[in-house]
Amino acid sequence: MTSAERVAVVGTGLIGTSIALAAIRAGDAVRAFDVDRATLERAAERSGLTPTDGLEECVRGATLVFICTPIPSLGALAAAALAAAHEAVVTDVGSVKAHVLAEVEAVANPEHLARFVGGHPMGGSERSGPDRASPAVVDGIVWVLSATPRTEEDAIARMEAWVARVGASPVRMDADRHDRLVAMVSHLPQVASTALMGLAATEEAGEPEILLLAAGGFRDLTRLAASSPHLWSDILLANREAIARAIDLYVSRLARIREMVLADRPDEVEAAFAAAKQARLALTAKPQVKSGVAVILVPVPDRPGVLADVTVTLGEAAVNIEDLQIVHSPEGGRGTVHLTVAADAADEAERVLRERWFDPLRLA
Amino acid sequence: MTSAERVAVVGTGLIGTSIALAAIRAGDAVRAFDVDRATLERAAERSGLTPTDGLEECVRGATLVFICTPIPSLGALAAAALAAAHEAVVTDVGSVKAHVLAEVEAVANPEHLARFVGGHPMGGSERSGPDRASPAVVDGIVWVLSATPRTEEDAIARMEAWVARVGASPVRMDADRHDRLVAMVSHLPQVASTALMGLAATEEAGEPEILLLAAGGFRDLTRLAASSPHLWSDILLANREAIARAIDLYVSRLARIREMVLADRPDEVEAAFAAAKQARLALTAKPQVKSGVAVILVPVPDRPGVLADVTVTLGEAAVNIEDLQIVHSPEGGRGTVHLTVAADAADEAERVLRERWFDPLRLA
């Protein structure tokens, strides 16, 4: 356990306020600033952080500074914080890293870069506002840390210790590699979803009945399309090259499937689908971005009250349900409740469900 | 209310057995046949249908025949049923229609085609086996009916009446149009999901940590990739041209987004994302493929027992929960339970939830 820090948070939206709450829970003192006075006051009420009147007052004397503003302002604010807080390690929470690091390196006093570490806490950053904040936002999440060439080991180690102390999992990763990987598994899914929804909407103009035929699978694939356009514009433009490459790889894979289908080669289509199916089943059995949780599958009959039976059984055993999904096979249906519970509550959850004659299956 | 029919079901997997159950519930007599004797016996135990020893015995004297086998055998079996059951209207349940109609037209005695109507009950057909069957599979679903040029109006009208009598919504649709629309909102999502999962799996070979960074959005987009490769190979190859066109349109939309991003045009990216967001929000407010249901959004605090509170409240009011989802904002989070309930139970659901101090919002 490392000792308490003096934490400064710049930008008290959902993620900034959640970081403040997690820090306070861990025993740190927290000051914060937000250009929107009302947002700052809500954050202070909600979390017990100390509001301040400007960046300088906020970060002066801090040992850790978190810049939690939109991507375009991260670099300049990080540089200002490095200059104003002489002892502090400064980090940001942007969804892209190379772009942010390049901006900080361009703007900051080079000597200050020893104390800068890029960061990406991978959870919940796309909800908005201090009212939705919770220290649980950081519980068990992967928190990527990306150093600049000038960052000193001591600064990274301090950030790592703090991230672990508040309950998240620090992962060191080169900024370019981070951006390449999230382009594939976070940014590309967003683009794929938006493109599919946009296409269906265009078709709908000429075929109003098309969405009548859109079942659960279409809804799954287009859920992300409801995300914030402004936020995603910032993210995509800040990770241009990696996203273009991810789209290229995706398009060539779609083209290969198109080719096999048009050429009427069932064995190839089936092999491509079988490989993806196997990978998806392996993913289901893997820990989510949130570590420390377990997924339990519970087959349920289709009758009134069965969901109440599952949830009350767990509630009475004081097992908190982190997530619950009634999982349909592709194209609709019902039958299996997917429960996500804390890993250390999973044995108890299985036991009490068995006692109620359910047949839970815990994924590894 | 039309009078009871003598129903024959060929193929007693999930959808065939569900149709048998719905027919029996509606007062029809049901005979069935399946080449797999064990499957047929399970279906008979589960539903009370009368098993038979072959296609001819099954369909002889029937007034309605449902061919519920895999796509490649639908045409030949429909033709055989038309020949063996002289009075019957014969239909199929395949996910593609033009291909099936062409096969029936190629194989059947042309005079029999007056009694053939292609069909696609749009719900649950991708689960498998009689054990998962339920009459609820057809409740409120859209059931597309596609005529051949030789089909007589009387045959379509009889099918329509039966579909409505068992609780589904008949929709007449030209086979080519059906195939074009499902290519876009059902087959393309499947291809998009499989391609994304296949791509991530390939990348994972060189970057084992990539899936550590895959959050909820990636899981949403790849859930369909776990579908049956064999089934989907059949569907895609039977709808080749429409699928190739849908992939082309999708790829060109992806290419446009790639272009805007690489050219650093934030206004265009934001406009494309805003259009898709608006369409997705409109979709949420639309009836699902299942008509007769209502969706109610219930904001919930993040504490143990809250889900039990919602489900017990509805259970005590005898409101059956058709579906429940804890909806996360993009990239994770929590906060809103989406409940799907029968439309005629929605008022009661809202009332009892309000009484328990929840703040339900019913979607139109």
As a whole number, mean pLDDT of residues A233-256 equals 97
Residue with tokens 């084992």: B208
Q: Which residues of chain A does B201 touch, with a Cβ-Cβ cutoff of 8 Å?
A: 275-276, 279
Contact A280, A295 (CB under 8 A): no
Contact B302 A136 (CB under 8 A): yes
Going by their DSSP bridges, the two strands B336-342 and B321-327 should be labelled as antiparallel
pLDDT interval class at A320 (50, 70, 90): confident
**B148 at the A interface (CB within 8 A)?**
no
Q: If you ran DSSP here, which 8-state letter would residue B126 be given?
A: T
pLDDT at res. A214:
82
HSE (side-chain half, CA atoms, 13 Å) at A276: 32
Contact A220, B223 (CB under 8 A): yes
pLDDT at res. A282:
79
Residue A112, SS3? Answer: helix
Contact A123 B244 (CB under 8 A): no
Report pLDDT digits (tens) over B63-106.
999 999 999 999 999 999 999 999 999 999 999 999 999 999 99
Report pLDDT digits (tens) over A62-106.
999 999 999 999 999 999 999 999 999 999 999 999 999 999 999
- Tell me the angle at which helices A240-262 and A229-237 cross, rounded to the nearest 10 degrees: 100
**B4 at the A interface (CB within 8 A)?**
no
Contact B314 A308 (CB under 8 A): yes
Contact A134 B302 (CB under 8 A): yes
**B169 at the A interface (CB within 8 A)?**
no
Contact B211 A136 (CB under 8 A): no
Residues shown for chain B: 364
Contact B304 A284 (CB under 8 A): no
**Which is higher by pLDDT, A288 or B224?**
B224
Contact A213 B329 (CB under 8 A): no
pLDDT at res. B174:
96
Interface of A with B in 211-250 (CB under 8 A): 211-230, 232-234, 236-237, 240-241, 243-244, 247-250
pLDDT < 50 stretches in chain B: 1, 125-126, 287-289, 328-334, 364
Contact A333 B124 (CB under 8 A): yes
Structure tokens that stand for B16 in this block: 């065939």
Burial of A297 (0-12, 13-18, 19+ CB in 10 A): middle
Query: What whole-number distance in Å separates Cα of residue B143 and Cα of residue B168?
Result: 7
**Which is higher by pLDDT, A166 or A125?**
A166
As a whole number, mean pLDDT of residues A308-329 equals 77
Contact B224 A220 (CB under 8 A): yes
Closest Cα in chain A, distance from residue B347 (Å): 17
Query: What whole-number distance in Å separates Cα of residue B110 and Cα of residue B106?
Result: 9
Percentage, residues of chain A above pLDDT 90? 62
Report pLDDT digits (tens) over B48-68.
999 999 999 999 999 999 999
pLDDT at res. A363:
65
Domains of chain B: 6-173 (3.40.50.720), 178-284 (1.10.3660.10), 293-362 (3.30.70.260)
Burial of A154 (0-12, 13-18, 19+ CB in 10 A): exposed
**A255 at the B interface (CB within 8 A)?**
yes
Q: Which residues of chain A does B342 touch, with a Cβ-Cβ cutoff of 8 Å?
A: none
Give B70-86 as a DSSP string.
Answer: -HHHHHHHHHHHHHH-S
A 10 A CB-CB count for A302 gives 15
**A266 at the B interface (CB within 8 A)?**
yes
Lowest mean pLDDT among A13-17, A53-57, A62-66, B358-362: B358-362
pLDDT at res. A126:
44
pLDDT at res. B363:
65
Strand boundaries in A93-231, DSSP class E: 116-121, 142-147, 169-172
